[in-house]
């Protein structure tokens, strides 16, 4: 019986550890997204495309993305990343630029006044490619939004570099998303079976004692 008990214990531990790595990738689309333009001395207004451009001449373009993080599955695993496929019309050939990312709790719809919204979160270097996919770990921003009772997490994208960026399907690019992983159903089954086996092995040892 001791041999069978040890075998059951070993198999149970193996099931638990094997279940850890089995997950699949998932994405959350933006609930709303809009480019916002502001002319010097004027009021910001919504654009029909997503663009990020620093103050060149008398205008500046920014983009705001709103994600319904309340719709994320409870089993969503870290890291949760913001995925930004971008077209940089000033590359290759110039010095690498960057995108400044600001965050705030949104309402699910982008407004022109969001041109000024948000607190600094991170700066992403865009490199020197004409088309690139930029990744940013936003796990803490998601957690803070939910902890503060918010449902929609908004990202405001701007730049103080000389590069000009475009995003979204209007430019033949995938739309920005939030990326995360979710355990497969088989993973949960393996884990539950493993813990059940551990419990049974412990029970058998107690009886034997």
For residue 1, pLDDT beyond 60: no
Question: What does the pLDDT look like over 60-110, one tens digit per residue?
Answer: 999 999 999 999 988 777 899 999 999 998 888 778 899 999 999 999 999
Q: What is the mean pLDDT of residues 144-173?
A: 95
pLDDT at residue 205, rounded to an integer: 55
Q: What is the mean pLDDT of residues 41-68?
A: 94
Any idea of the CA torsion for 133, 101, 105, 167, to the nearest 10 degrees? -40
Q: What's the rounded Cα separation, in Å, for the pair 68 and 206?
A: 49
pLDDT at residue 78, rounded to an integer: 81
Q: How far apart are the first and last CA of the chain?
A: 12
For residue 16, pLDDT beyond 50: no
pLDDT at residue 95, rounded to an integer: 83
Strands 97-106 and 119-127: antiparallel
For residue 194, pLDDT beyond 50: no
Question: What does the pLDDT look like over 113-139, one tens digit per residue?
Answer: 999 999 999 999 988 888 999 999 999
Q: pTM score > 0.85 for this model? A: no
Give the lowest-confidence range in 21-30, 70-79, 96-105, 166-175.
21-30
Q: What is the mean pLDDT of residues 20-39?
A: 85
For residue 3, pLDDT beyond 70: no
What would the DSSP string read from start to end of 86-123? EEETTTTTS--EEEEEEEEEE-SS--GGGGG--EEEEE
For residue 188, pLDDT beyond 50: no
Q: What's the rounded Cα separation, in Å, for the pair 114 and 106?
A: 9
What does the block give as tokens for 113?
């006044």
């Amino acid at each position: 019986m001791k041999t069978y008990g040890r075998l059951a214990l070993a198999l149970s531990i193996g099931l638990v550890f094997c279940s850890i790595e089995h997950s699949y990738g998932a994405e959350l689309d933006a609930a709303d997204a809009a480019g916002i333009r502001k002319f010097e001395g004027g009021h910001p207004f919504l654009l029909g495309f997503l663009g990020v451009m620093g103050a060149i001449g008398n205008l500046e373009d920014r983009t705001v993305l709103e994600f319904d993080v309340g719709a994320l599955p409870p089993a969503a695993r870290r890291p949760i990343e913001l995925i930004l496929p971008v077209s940089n019309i000033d590359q290759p050939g110039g010095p690498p630029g960057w995108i400044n990312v600001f965050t705030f709790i949104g309402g699910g719809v982008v407004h022109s006044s969001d041109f000024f919204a948000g607190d600094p979160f991170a700066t992403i270097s865009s490199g020197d490619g004409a088309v690139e996919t930029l990744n940013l770990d936003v796990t803490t921003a998601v957690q803070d939004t939910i902890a503060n009772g918010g449902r929609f997490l908004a990202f405001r994208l701007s730049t103080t570099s000389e590069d000009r960026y475009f995003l979204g399907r209007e430019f033949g690019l995938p739309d920005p998303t939030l990326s995360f992983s979710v355990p497969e159903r088989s993973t949960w089954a393996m884990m539950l079976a493993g813990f059940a086996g551990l419990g049974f092995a412990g029970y058998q040892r107690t009886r034997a004692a």
